[in-house]
Structure 1
């Protein structure tokens, strides 16, 4: 068996006492494991504190995400660089994309608590930097630092809960985690808009620091995770070999060069034949080939183990998460822009339109967890979830001047419900087909494709938007000062309100046309999501730790047979 396929498992409990282990039934009341199993019940209070430590960090990550989505327009206006506003989201998500896969390995080296605290520290430093940023460039850099920790918050929390809960109940716990995620996402939009209107956008970042401190204290206090003995005895250089820095760097270079090429093409209006544009595209392909080579032949513990991608279910889950995240984050970042530029709403009103979507995220995830717990099945639920997201994106693409308020508020609900259910079921699907030693890496791999989709969704939609917007503005606005006016409209959306009626209509119609193209592309991405989900295989969902351990052993034996056959 290839050594890169094995990682140390972390069987130690998340409580300070080495005797205690959670069984997954605690919220339903005290239970006892079978004699000799080593599974002992804990008090409900202890369980609540453990989950609070993990999920308060998840809440903070979601809160920050929708706050920034709402504030992109006012921040761009503040620095007079609205055409660079998409970089605020792109820089964060690019860092998340590059660092998220490392946290799966890091949690096996530092333990779940150590990895979570590391992520919270980076996230906090970046958030403070955003609140104090003197320029757009400094703010973009600070968002990149925050992203280095933001991806770890979500990943490590998910891995830690997987350590504790049997898969049949795991979906329900993921649903409860997504309630916190949905609550944070729901509050973030209107809260960020209100704080911007009342105090200024900087306070929307700085007020997060007390929540961050609360999360940090809870994780330090309750989530006590001793390292497994085999990792603890290893010298430092062997521990560091488990971190695939080369693979992560190659992945970062691949995505970054691709995004920069599209950005220069649209934002700077460079032609495809410009050396900078096609040079970056060639570099992206080269770094992509290098990334695959590193993962296949060099990295002893790759961030994206290729033996996962060659299996049917992990490949289907990875692709579905990629396409779904691209569509979802494009929606989250462009819907507030629609209400700010086409409907001319305030920042608070624009962010408020994300509230039903965020509530649906919580509902969809809990519903998926409840269904999986009751039925032990996930395939049909996954397909129905993909169809919900497809329906919602189709309705949003049909928005026009005659769309009723009911549509403007309600069309996002099926998208939030479907996406939340989909990411819950697909996470359980991929965990159910791997061995125990691969759980952390498999979870990290799922988040890798999810975060890659997020950064591609935000950046490519921004690139597409700017390209179509520039073309439409040039078609509608003419005259000696046309280019200067077009530049002002692209750099600051606040200008639209002050234009004379004819020019205001031209600007609004141009934004509406550009956003409609973006929304239609989201529909296409949801079709690809549905097709990917069709390839997912149904696996049994264990209801107890004993059943889950047996399934892990069967999955390991199956992988060993495949490896020996190859």
Structure 2
């Protein structure tokens, strides 16, 4: 079987392989001409021809076995004069390296959601415990768009290794941290690497897998992402109870180290990436710096505004003003740069792109707000321990990869289904977020699990379908940057989801608690603020309060969490409105681009 990647087209398909058979003798002559320069023996060429004649029609990207069985021959990258042998073992190892990182991303996202209040309790900093997640999201979001451009300039392998190394370095620092601020800093370092784990996996697979067959592989990637999330949700509380929360970070290091070793030996760069002599001139350093500063300051404002400082405090306003200035500078840089731009303006100059990217922001907001609010809701309303709250998310989490598998199946059937999958995913997420508002103390556990399924299916469907809707709208040479751009907008929504939902909870908690506590004799404003500060630092202290005060605080907490979930529902509703706008105004989708790549 001949597997070829040319600069602008990805092969194989059955049609192209049939053409390869017809040209096998001509191909053999070209390969023979190259033997003087590439040390290819005539016996290898004969074996190569034999495989081309006998195995091409057996190739099938749709199943793992088909791919493995067909990768016993050279993979030609770029031109026949520069060959890299990729056999069965090599292909398996490449995917093992990529999918190990995907698993770590899923695991890390849910394990921190299930233990951050426990960490906050240990450091007496529950009110700032959300920074364990937020610091990671800020840096991963800020650096995520750089990986698409940098991997085009520096090569896929060095970017993959660097991202994984920074991620596990941060995990090591988290496991050894002795102060909440040190932990937050190391989480930020993890985020710099974590921003590239899934992005680079998608980019590298886009290099080596035909567009019409990418759905199955993206579904498998989503399956591992969801499986990692299940493992994190199920084991986070258990690991914390048995070994301590530090091991939730340390356990990720061996997997990341394995990915680095495998990636170093097996991950290859596409033939058309920039030569080393041109590297410095093609790296958009000014654009990279201005974008990172702009995003970091904006996300910092969203995180501390309304929490540590007021929204219109002088410090907060200074942050947002500098952020806007750096964003304007970034835009002007991208328009004028001669380097490879981080975010090419043409990616944002059409209605369809703006609709899809807006949906990405909104679903990122809703999914992360949902993920981080539910464990707290379970603890407050149902009286769960932190481990039990995490376990309640385990069964519904199985349906996230199922949603991804559904998406992969229909993507392979027809690219025409892509936007329909986006719409259906939005509907499922809206229903799931609405059902979360109906959770109460006496709810049957099985019914509760069923309530959580639609949001997980919707998330599993909308993430890959919206990603490929955006990627397939552009030509192949822009798809690496398009991938990082799509992930960037989704990550911005994720940070907004965590930061804004935390602000909403804190705002309404104060309103509801103060209103009710004032009615209790002897509870003046000073005592009320003392109680709120105490429970904000450690949720478990609610159980040690006076029964009447404890009941009021529980009610206030539950009501404020539901307010945040209502806003999450609103975001899902906006997604549906955008879908309707696309359909009514017949905004062109990616199908034309998809077909042109076949």
TM-score by length of 2: 0.82
| Distance change (3 Å), C-alpha of 1:249 and 1:459 | farther
Say which is worse superposed, 495-504 or 176-185, in terms of deviation.
495-504
Structure possessing the higher relative contact order (Cα contacts under 8 Å, 6 or more residues apart): 1
Q: Which runs of 5+ in 1 are unaligned?
A: 1-7, 543-547, 554-566
Pairing partner for 2:246 from 180, 193, 202: 202
Work out the CA distance in 2 between the residues paired with 1:443 and 1:88: 26
Q: Which runs of 5+ in 2 are unaligned?
A: 1-6, 13-37, 41-47
Q: Please state whether the residue corresponding to 1:349 is helix, strand or coil.
A: helix
**1:151 — aligned with what?**
195
| Distance change (3 Å), C-alpha of 1:249 and 1:472 | farther
Indicate yes or no: 2:426 matched with 1:426. Answer: no
| Distance change (3 Å), C-alpha of 1:11 and 1:428 | closer
The structural deviation recorded for 1:52 is: 1.4
Indicate yes or no: 2:344 matched with 1:305. Answer: yes
- Equivalences for residues 84-103 of structure 1 within 5 A: 84-103=128-147
| Distance change (3 Å), C-alpha of 1:292 and 1:168 | same
Work out the CA distance in 1 between the residues paired with 2:319 and 2:451: 38
**1:239 — aligned with what?**
279
Q: Please state whether the residue corresponding to 1:201 is helix, strand or coil.
A: coil
**2:528 — aligned with what?**
482
Work out the CA distance in 2 between the residues paired with 1:330 and 1:361: 16
RMSD after superposition: 3.1
- Equivalences for residues 434-453 of structure 1 within 5 A: 434-453=474-493
Q: Please state whether the residue corresponding to 2:539 is helix, strand or coil.
A: coil
Q: Please state whether the residue corresponding to 2:321 is helix, strand or coil.
A: helix
Work out the CA distance in 2 between the residues paired with 1:336 and 1:256: 27
Q: Is the 8 A contact 1:12 1:226 kept in 2?
A: no
The structural deviation recorded for 1:263 is: 4.2
- Cα deviation, 1:363-402, whole Å, max 9, x if unaligned, reads 0011100111123322222211111111111111233345
Q: Which structure is larger by alpha-carbon Rg, 1 or 2?
A: 2
The structural deviation recorded for 1:110 is: 2.9
**2:34 — aligned with what?**
none
**2:538 — aligned with what?**
492
Work out the CA distance in 2 between the residues paired with 1:314 and 1:273: 33
Work out the CA distance in 2 between the residues paired with 1:398 and 1:414: 14
The structural deviation recorded for 1:194 is: 0.9
Work out the CA distance in 1 between the residues paired with 2:288 and 2:413: 39
Q: Is the 8 A contact 2:382 2:440 kept in 1?
A: no
Q: Is the 8 A contact 1:75 1:85 kept in 2?
A: yes
| Distance change (3 Å), C-alpha of 1:263 and 1:477 | farther
Pairing partner for 1:524 from 570, 573, 577: 570
Q: Is the 8 A contact 1:254 1:284 kept in 2?
A: yes
- Equivalences for residues 306-325 of structure 1 within 5 A: 306-325=345-364
Indicate yes or no: 2:154 matched with 1:117. Answer: no
Q: Is the 8 A contact 2:369 2:568 kept in 1?
A: yes
Q: Please state whether the residue corresponding to 1:494 is helix, strand or coil.
A: helix
Work out the CA distance in 1 between the residues paired with 2:307 and 2:387: 27
Say which is worse superposed, 136-145 or 483-492, in terms of deviation.
483-492
Q: Is the 8 A contact 1:469 1:511 kept in 2?
A: yes
Q: Is the 8 A contact 1:356 1:410 kept in 2?
A: no
- Cα deviation, 1:469-518, whole Å, max 9, x if unaligned, reads 22222223342522212100111111012223212111111110110111
Q: Please state whether the residue corresponding to 2:491 is helix, strand or coil.
A: helix
- Equivalences for residues 331-346 of structure 1 within 5 A: 331-346=370-385
The structural deviation recorded for 1:74 is: 0.4
- Equivalences for residues 529-540 of structure 1 within 5 A: 529-534=575-580, 535=582, 537-540=588-591
Work out the CA distance in 1 between the residues paired with 2:423 and 2:133: 29
Pairing partner for 2:596 from 516, 531, 551: 551
Number of residue pairs matched?
531
Indicate yes or no: 2:172 matched with 1:128. Answer: yes
Q: Please state whether the residue corresponding to 2:440 is helix, strand or coil.
A: coil
